[in-house]
A and B are shown apart, each in its own frame.
Chain A
Amino acid sequence: MRNIFYIARWEFSTRFKTRSFLFSTFILPVLFSLLITLPVYFITYEESVSTKLIGVINMGEDDLIEKLQNHLNDNYQLKNGSPEYIILPISVENSVIFRKSYEEFESVSRQLDSLNLAYNDLKALREKYFQTNKLNNKELLLQKSYDELITTRELKEMVEMDYGYYKQKLDSVFNKQARLTADSLLLKKILNAYLVIPENIYRLGSIEYHSLNPGELLDAERMQTIINEFIVQSRLREADIQPAQISQWLKPLRLKKYQLRAQGPAEWNFYIEFYGAVIGVVLLFMAIFTSGGFLFSSVLSEKTNRVIEILLSYASSIQIMAGKIFGLGLLGLMQVLIWLGITAIFVFFNLFQAGQIAYLNLENALFFLHYFSLGYLLYAAIFVAIGAIFSSEQEAQQVNIILRTIAILPVLLVFLFLREPESGIITVLSYIPLLTPYFMILKIAQYGIPLSSDFYITSIILIVSIIGMVFFAAKIFRMGILMYGKKFTLRDILLLLRSS
């Protein structure tokens, strides 16, 4: 018994002050938290540092651009007070192709204007002829002017057709040239994005948003919301609704989510729930794999540097194994306690509103310790066995990677879990001993405290598997530890177990 204590103390004290322990206790959690929170933070909370230029190819109403600009000015401003968005109507007047089409269109338009004028003049002349009774050759004049009117009308109809054609052509050239211009401005990074607003936007209800970066969700979403509001407003106006009424009706809704927890309803915040769960699982993972990793390398290195033979001559294999598991378990416990202590400081001084996060309480700290201890013991037994079987770091690392992959699985399943914590697959997964501690931490972050039936079932599952695993590991450890340079196959392990 005394030797277990000495071995445990040796393992603890030789690793407690190592850089790798300090790193994994203080630096790694911070790094990891930043690593998983920052990207989402940047996507959602990005404060624009400079004004964004949004181009608009407007084929609809002229006042739309002004309305959009005003709306943006009212709602989105930079910290220095300047507008966050500036709308730039895309101009194509410098385009040769556009100018040529425009000239064609203008000439047809002028032609049509003069024909219209001539036609109206003729109509007016005929009316005059008609009303004047004392006209000598009235019949003749009327007949002649009628012929001219018909000719002019035919001509006018033809030019009207031309007009329609050129107008359509002009529109299409505008559309094409404007897009070309906007694209080049986008490529030159002058524009952040541009919108294409069609002529009949209020009927169609569809616009285009172009940008180099489709991940720029925020800007697109804002434009969509604003223009959507315009469309709704316009449609409401068409239905003769008063403007005051409209703005009252369109007042936006704010949704606060609450979740019923054991302690009562608590405000539901996706980020807190999501990151609470993920950080909890990752911390558990790091705690288990820091001390488990130490344990693993301790066994493996003693085997490779042969210290194990000296140890075995002064202590039994069971004493060595138990000493290592307890010593490094205490190290892991120390790590968890340091984290809980830091969390307690956060809660006590209410940094980051930590006091309002429902799952940060003493009871859950104890649950965390409970599942850490059980999870650690289970993984520790596995690590001891693997460390004893393999004789080189490289071989053993491969198995270690497989174990890590299994243990990190719950982190990957967090989304699945948050969407449907009660689903069958989650229940099944959470009863697999290697995964149980992680899923219970997820459940605690989700529900506040675990259901007592869940708590007992998972604890029993874990304890039974720990006993089995320790028994198995002790056999493997005793036999494997002295076999140097031998590659173990699954068959060897089975033989070992049968022979012992």
Chain B
Amino acid sequence: MLQLINIVKKFDSTVALNDISFDVQPGSIFALLGPNGAGKTTALRLIMQILKPDSGEILYNSQPRIKLKRNLFGYLPEERGLYQRARVLDLLVYVGLLNHMSRHRAEVEAIRYLDKLGLVDYTKKTVNTLSKGMQQKIQFIVTLLHNPEIIILDEPFSGLDPVNQMVLRNIIAQGKEEGKSIILSTHHMSEVEKIADQIYLINQGHMILNGSLQEIRERFKENAYLIESDDKIDAIKGIKDIKILEEHNQSCKFSILAKDADKKKVISTIFEKIPVIKFIQVQPSLDDIFIKLIRNSQKEYKS
């Protein structure tokens, strides 16, 4: 288990991270979310030991980070680059060697990955002759070649075409299956909703929200429903204990004011009066939750 405990990091007078703590379980996907400048990349760089925290501790299986081997970690930085003049296989072998792989194993693993991602014909090509999408795949390989236990992905989906987004999702899913701890930071809430087990929202270096996706959904569940009909739905206005939230010609969003026991009664009244073709309880999207939370937190900082 990877643990961050009371991490504080300052640059000059700016506080980048203020008392951040979280755990990442093996075999789970941990999503670090937040607006630009929230401190996500700083947190990941601290885990990668590219930066050092001002205070606090980073532990993996109770071992302090400084005592861990670098090759336990695989890192895909947000700002991605490769040696443009290098040959693909040479570059991958070099990265493998830096991660204490033998030359032979690095070569075998590199070719295996290249084959898996459909790039095996490009081993002798230089990086700058590859398309952008291919280069992105090479970057995934650079991150994973040495089979790290902890995979850290900084904004992994930004700039990826849909095909490569899927490739990456598969890689992440496979890593999870293999019991690796996966941390990713992202803006793409839709991706997070699909894959993340644990969510950690930060803004301006402060933790705003922490929990599993399910818990968070439950916590921010609204008492709101949506119905759709193939006819006009004016009749809904006559029903008791209903508050209209949004109204359109053939659909309506509303909340039920009655207590839980009476809710069923209200709902059945609706079905009696209106030819309903769709009835759902409205789930707040992560986007909505985060925008709301971040606005609130910014108001707090200002006041």
Interface residues of A (CB under 8 A from B): 2-3, 6-7, 10, 14, 302, 304-307, 309-315, 482, 484, 495
Whether B50 and A314, one on each chain, are in contact in the complex, defined by CB atoms closer than 8 angstroms, is no
Q: Which residues of B contact A10 (CB under 8 A)?
A: 94
CA distance A307 to B135 in the complex (A): 13
CA distance A136 to B83 in the complex (A): 135
| A313 and B80 in contact, given A3-B98, A6-B94, A6-B98 (Cβ under 8 angstroms) | no
Question: Total contacts A to B, CB within 8 angstroms?
Answer: 54
Whether B75 and A7, one on each chain, are in contact in the complex, defined by CB atoms closer than 8 angstroms, is no
Q: Which residues of B contact A311 (CB under 8 A)?
A: 98
Max count, chain A CB within 10 A of own CB: residue among B49, B70, B98, B100: B98
- Asked if B95 is an interface residue, CB under 8 A from chain A, the answer is yes
Whether A309 and B100, one on each chain, are in contact in the complex, defined by CB atoms closer than 8 angstroms, is no
- Asked if B246 is an interface residue, CB under 8 A from chain A, the answer is no
CA distance A305 to B81 in the complex (A): 5
A contact patch SS: helix
Q: Which residues of B contact A307 (CB under 8 A)?
A: 81-83
Whether B98 and A314, one on each chain, are in contact in the complex, defined by CB atoms closer than 8 angstroms, is yes
CB distance from A24 to the nearest CB of B (A): 17
Chain B positions 65 through 100: 1 when the CB is less than 8 Å from some CB of chain A, otherwise 0? 000001101010101111111100000001101111
| A14 and B48 in contact, given A313-B73, A314-B95, A315-B98 (Cβ under 8 angstroms) | no
CA distance A304 to B51 in the complex (A): 19
CA distance A6 to B12 in the complex (A): 35
Among candidates A14, A314, A495, residue contacting B85 with C-beta atoms closer than 8 Å: A14
- Asked if B142 is an interface residue, CB under 8 A from chain A, the answer is yes
| A7 and B98 in contact, given A305-B81, A307-B82 (Cβ under 8 angstroms) | yes
Q: Which residues of B contact A304 (CB under 8 A)?
A: 81
Q: Which residues of A contact B48 (CB under 8 A)?
A: 312-313
CB distance from B7 to the nearest CB of A (A): 18
28 A-B pairs with C-beta separation under 8 A: A6-B97, A6-B98, A10-B94, A14-B83, A14-B85, A14-B86, A305-B81, A305-B83, A306-B79, A306-B81, A307-B81, A307-B82, A309-B75, A309-B77, A310-B75, A311-B98, A312-B48, A313-B48, A313-B75, A313-B77, A314-B70, A314-B71, A314-B95, A314-B99, A315-B98, A482-B45, A482-B50, A484-B79
CA distance A14 to B84 in the complex (A): 11
Number of interface residues of B (CB under 8 A): 26
Which chain A residue lies CB-closest to B146? A314
Which chain B residue lies CB-closest to A18? B85
CA distance A218 to B49 in the complex (A): 71
Whether A312 and B97, one on each chain, are in contact in the complex, defined by CB atoms closer than 8 angstroms, is no
Whether B100 and A312, one on each chain, are in contact in the complex, defined by CB atoms closer than 8 angstroms, is no
16 further interface pairs, Cβ-Cβ under 8 Å (given A305-B81, A313-B49, A314-B95): A2-B100, A3-B98, A6-B94, A7-B98, A14-B83, A307-B81, A309-B75, A310-B75, A310-B95, A313-B50, A313-B73, A313-B75, A313-B77, A314-B71, A315-B98, A482-B45
Q: Which residues of A contact B45 (CB under 8 A)?
A: 482
Whether A306 and B50, one on each chain, are in contact in the complex, defined by CB atoms closer than 8 angstroms, is no
Chain B positions 95 through 109: 1 when the CB is less than 8 Å from some CB of chain A, otherwise 0? 101111000000000
CA distance A6 to B102 in the complex (A): 12
CA distance A363 to B97 in the complex (A): 39
Which chain A residue lies CB-closest to B99? A314
Q: Which residues of A contact B86 (CB under 8 A)?
A: 14
Max count, chain B CB within 10 A of own CB: residue among A311, A313, A482: A313
Q: Which residues of A contact B94 (CB under 8 A)?
A: 6, 10
CA distance A302 to B77 in the complex (A): 13
CB distance from B185 to the nearest CB of A (A): 14
Among candidates B50, B82, B142, residue contacting A312 with C-beta atoms closer than 8 Å: B50
CA distance A310 to B98 in the complex (A): 11
Whether A315 and B70, one on each chain, are in contact in the complex, defined by CB atoms closer than 8 angstroms, is yes
Q: Which residues of A contact B83 (CB under 8 A)?
A: 14, 305, 307
Among candidates B85, B100, B142, residue contacting A310 with C-beta atoms closer than 8 Å: B142
CA distance A309 to B49 in the complex (A): 11
Max count, chain B CB within 10 A of own CB: residue among A2, A10, A304, A314: A314
Whether B97 and A306, one on each chain, are in contact in the complex, defined by CB atoms closer than 8 angstroms, is no
Q: Which residues of B contact A302 (CB under 8 A)?
A: 81
Q: Which residues of B contact A310 (CB under 8 A)?
A: 75, 77, 81, 95, 142
